[in-house]
Structure 1
Amino acid sequence: MTTDLIQVLIALLAGIGVIILLTAKYRVHALFALFLACFVTGLVVQLSVADIITAMKDGFGNIMKSLGFIIVLGTTLGVLLEHTGSTRVMAAFILKIVGERYAAVAMSLTGFIVGLPIFCDSGYIVLSGLNQSLAKRTGISVVIMSVSLATGLYAVHCLIPPHPGATAAAGTIGADFGKLMLMGIGVAIPAAIAGGWWAHYAGKKIPVVQQAETSEAANSPAPPVWLAFLPVAVPILLIAIGAFTNIEKTTNGTLRFFHTLGDPVLALSVGVLLAFAGGRGWNKTTTGKLLGEAAEKAGGILVIIGAGGAFGAVLAAAKIGEHVSAAVPLGSFGIVFPFLLAALLKTAQGSSTVAIITAASIVQPLLPALGLDSDMGRILCILALGGGSMTLSHANDAYFWVISKFSGLEMRIMLKVYSIATLWMGLVTLLVVYLLSLFLL
């Protein structure tokens, strides 16, 4: 290896080490960990402080420009669906269709659908009361029920925009947002099935004492089924139309209109307006409180994503990708490399979002060497990163403890059932993405 390659590898490892050490051991907020990693990496490759700061500003700004409104609107949609009781209505409807005998499948499916606009930890907290109630009523082990719900939520959280990891990776790598969302849904389905299968297989042998029901919103007014699903279904439909219509080649006014509405910012805005229709008794106090809560929640996500963009810009300025691709035959790794990188980061520091943002920054300049420098290649790369960011969730993951706390499951059971379920989910995702790459690349 040349001196330049050794130097950039040391810089890369130093930056990743700073992120893992600060976030995993010292519990430093990911924003500051990524901020410091920018300087560590840049200084090791002998960039000037001025060049590092310029790259960080450019990277942060570019990510905000492309993703800021999407994250804010997606977060707002989730907050409003929780408040109006739409999540509970969707869950009850799915259970009615599937039947109590398949309550675990119903909870997995509920997690999958509810998880499209709502982050996995929030979705689990909102649905935990219903989950406990169904476990008690059906006699199905709370382990099976809880892990089925958790993995349904987790599959979409790691793979599908507007969740922060996949959204940030799309901005960093430059993938089409709408196509990524639709393909992500297709890949997330087998991942969720794998998680639910392991929950049933491993959980049926573990008897657990049921907790008392904790649902606080069971008697509150809720929208009709069609209105509960509408804020989720309409944006997905609009984004799908936008992704697969070419506005430059059509003169049809209706198609052009729907293509414009298919912009993720406008599509999510429509979803937010429809979510308001699912509630009653709106007033300026309630509305202001909910919108303020959404803005504050989105702000915490945006600063992490922006810092990830800054880190990626520093890596680009250091030309790490060029040095690595010139010395290592990355083409033989293909789609497996982004998966392994994200899995390593996820297992080491716990956050799926930090794992996929960091890995995307590293992989972006390597796309030509990996054979993924095409529209479809970028999408498959992000899905591989998402699969890696699932693998595997254990005690350093905040979501792990949300599930444990709200389900009353001790750590031994969580590791045996939930953590192994996330391993299966990641491996199944890698297999599906690899098979897709054989036909689409």
Structure 2
Amino acid sequence: MSSIAISSILVVLSIVAIIYLTAKVKFNVFGALFAVTMALAVFGTGLPFGKVIDAMKTGFGNTLGGISFIIIFGAAIAVCMERSGGALSLATHIMNMAGKKNTKAAVAWTGFIPGLTIFCDTGYIILSGIVRTISATSQLPMPLLASILGTSLFAVHCLVPTHPGALAAATTMNANLGLLVVASIVFAVPGLIAAYFWSSKMCKGMDYAPATVEAPAQPSTTQLPSFAFSLLPVVLPLVLISISTLLTTFGLKDGVAAVFHFLGNPVIALLVGMLCGVWLLACNGGQKGDFSAVLEEAISKAGPILIITGAGGMFGAIIKETGVGGALGEALGSASVGLLVPFIIAALLKTAQGSSTVASITTAAIIVPSLATFGLDSEAGRIFAVLAIGAGSLVASHANDSYFWVVTKFSNIEMEQSLRVFTTSTIVMGVVTFACIWGASFFFL
């Protein structure tokens, strides 16, 4: 048996081991990730013993470097929103507008629209506090609303070229960005709808509890901050990030644009949002010293999330060292089955190493030399190829994906619940999205 075949088996066994240890044995998540990652690094990568820990530290550190400040400031926004009553104000307004029967749909669009320009993990961190409050007030199970919000953000993150994976794939394939933006939004909708109904199906008959939130002394909604005021800590970061994204799309980098790019950096945008949250708290019964208390609570909440998220990135980095993803890509890259090839390669890469962005970029690099072979060497063909890659990068978000841990931990739900509802929903979403893309290709290719 070849070394790559052995490594492939070990990768599969590693994923199964993490799921078993955390979901069934109830072993500590970080402990399970660390132990399994080390075993895989020793037996599945061929790395010298002296390089094993270095590779693990690099994967852990790179993941934290990209998300740590975002998680801390995002957690601070959530604390401010809860303490000031802003989250309850937003949740009450959304429920009053949508009605109890439409609460789930309101949560889906709450994620989908901001997700057009904001990274899924950043968006989930910002919006999770609101959704927890909606779950508590509507008594809808938190795993259900977590999956609906998580998939609505994830759909556009993987498909729309305002995000790095889809944008890099489109650039590699020289696809028409204007047409791709429109097409990707159109095809994200059926995937989101499929995930919405699948999430509901997976929660049906299960004894999943609604979220519990600490409610400050608020005897009536008349004492809550206004809806517009409460929106500021949530919407302002989204607006700043969106402006920066649009300026980048139009190729504007200097002068006034440079200022907006600085403010639109997710770390700075969330810092601004946190300061707005502190202001909201100060204007609604806050006291001296609340800013320090907010940071203390935010760091306390963010700490475990950061550790587990970093460990998930570490696991993904070691999987990459095995070479399994590259071997799978090369093997499938020689097959001539049209759009199915980029979809399968992206899905396997995403499932194996965890990053949708890496899956999209790698798949595009593998596919672009063979576009003519697959009958995709045309303007429409390149657009459909990028869309197929995006659909594949949706499948599947699980233990080696940092976003999986953001959804799980910021929702305060069990890993087993998240795997059952959210992970399976990402699989269904990816398959349904690709089915729609494939069906449409018969009319446009």
TM-score by length of 1: 0.65
The alpha-carbon distance between structure 1 residues 296 and 101, as it changes in their structure 2 partners (threshold 3 A), is: closer
**Amino acid of the residue matched to residue 220 of structure 2?**
N
Deviation at 1:266, TM superposition (A): 0.9
Q: Structure 1 residues 38, 364: closer, same or farther in 2, change over 3 A?
A: farther
For 2:168 and 2:27, how far apart are their aligned partners in 1? 29
1:387 and 1:277 map into 2 onto residues whose CA distance is 40
1:147-195, CA deviations, whole angstroms, 9 ceiling, x for partnerless residues? 975554343465578xxxxxxx979x9999xx9xx99998776555445
Following superposition, the deviation at residue 227 of structure 1 comes to 1.3
The AA in structure 2 aligned to 1:289 is: A
- Indicate the residue corresponding to 2:272 in structure 1: 270
Structure 1 counterpart of 2:33: 34
* Amino acid of the structure 1 residue aligned with 2:260: F
- Residues 156 and 297 (structure 1), Cα distance of their counterparts in 2 relative to 1, 3 Å cut: farther
Q: What residue in structure 2 maps to residue 16 of structure 1?
A: 15
Partner of 1:298: 302
One-letter amino acid of the counterpart of residue 131, structure 1? S
User: In the TM superposition, what are the counterparts of 1:71-90 in structure 2 within 5 Å?
Assistant: 71-90=71-90
Letter in 1 for 2:138: N
Specify the code of the residue in structure 1 equivalent to 2:90.
Answer: M
- Aligned counterpart, 1:388: 396
Structure 2 residue identity aligned to 1:62: N
Matched-pair contact (CA < 8 Å) for 2:346–2:363 = no
Indicate the residue corresponding to 1:155 in structure 2. 151
- 2: distance between equivalents of 1:8 and 1:131? 47
SS of equivalent to 2:247: coil
Q: CA RMSD in A?
A: 5.2
1:138 corresponds to:
none
Shift of 1:215: 9.4
How far off its partner does 1:131 sit?
A: 1.0
CA offset digits 1:267-307 (Å, max 9, x no partner): 11111111222222333554333322211222222222222
Change (3 A) 1:196 1:8: closer
* Separation of aligned partners in 2, 1:109 and 1:151: 13
Name 2:93's counterpart in structure 1.
Answer: 93
Counterpart of 1:224 (choices 223, 226, 229) is 226
What's the counterpart of residue 365 of structure 2?
A: 368
Residue identity in the other structure for 2:303: G
Report the identity percentage.
27
| Paired position in structure 2 for 1:255 | 257
What is the CA-CA distance between 1:263 and the residue it aligns to? 0.9
1:20-419 map, 5 Å: 20-44=19-43, 45-98=45-98, 102=102, 105-106=105-106, 109=109, 116-118=123-125, 123-132=130-139, 149=145, 151-156=147-152, 158=154, 190-194=190-194, 216=215, 217=218, 219=220, 221-246=223-248, 250=252, 253-279=255-281, 280-329=284-333, 332-339=340-347, 356=354, 368-369=365-366, 384-386=392-394, 388-389=396-397
Query: Unpaired segments of 5 or more residues in structure 1?
Result: 133-141, 162-168, 346-354, 391-396, 405-410
Give 2:231's aligned amino acid: F
CA contact (8 A) 1:158 1:387 kept: no
Cα distance in 1, alignment partners of residues 131 and 150 from structure 2 = 10
Query: What CA distance in whole angstroms lies between the structure 2 residues aligned with 1:302 and 1:175?
Result: 29
Question: Could you tell me the TM-score, scaled by structure 2's length?
Answer: 0.64
Partner Cα distance (2:33, 2:197) in 1: 36
Q: Which moved more, 1:250-259 or 1:76-85?
A: 250-259
1:159 and 1:372, CA in 2 relative to 1: closer, same or farther beyond 3 A?
farther
2:378 is matched with none
Secondary structure at the aligned position of 2:342 is classed as coil
CA contact (8 A) 2:388 2:434 kept: no
Given that 2:346 and 2:360 are in contact with CA atoms closer than 8 Å, whether structure 1 keeps it comes out as: yes
| Structure 2 stretches lacking a partner, 5+ long | 115-119, 158-162, 171-176, 371-382, 399-406
- State the aligned residue count: 381
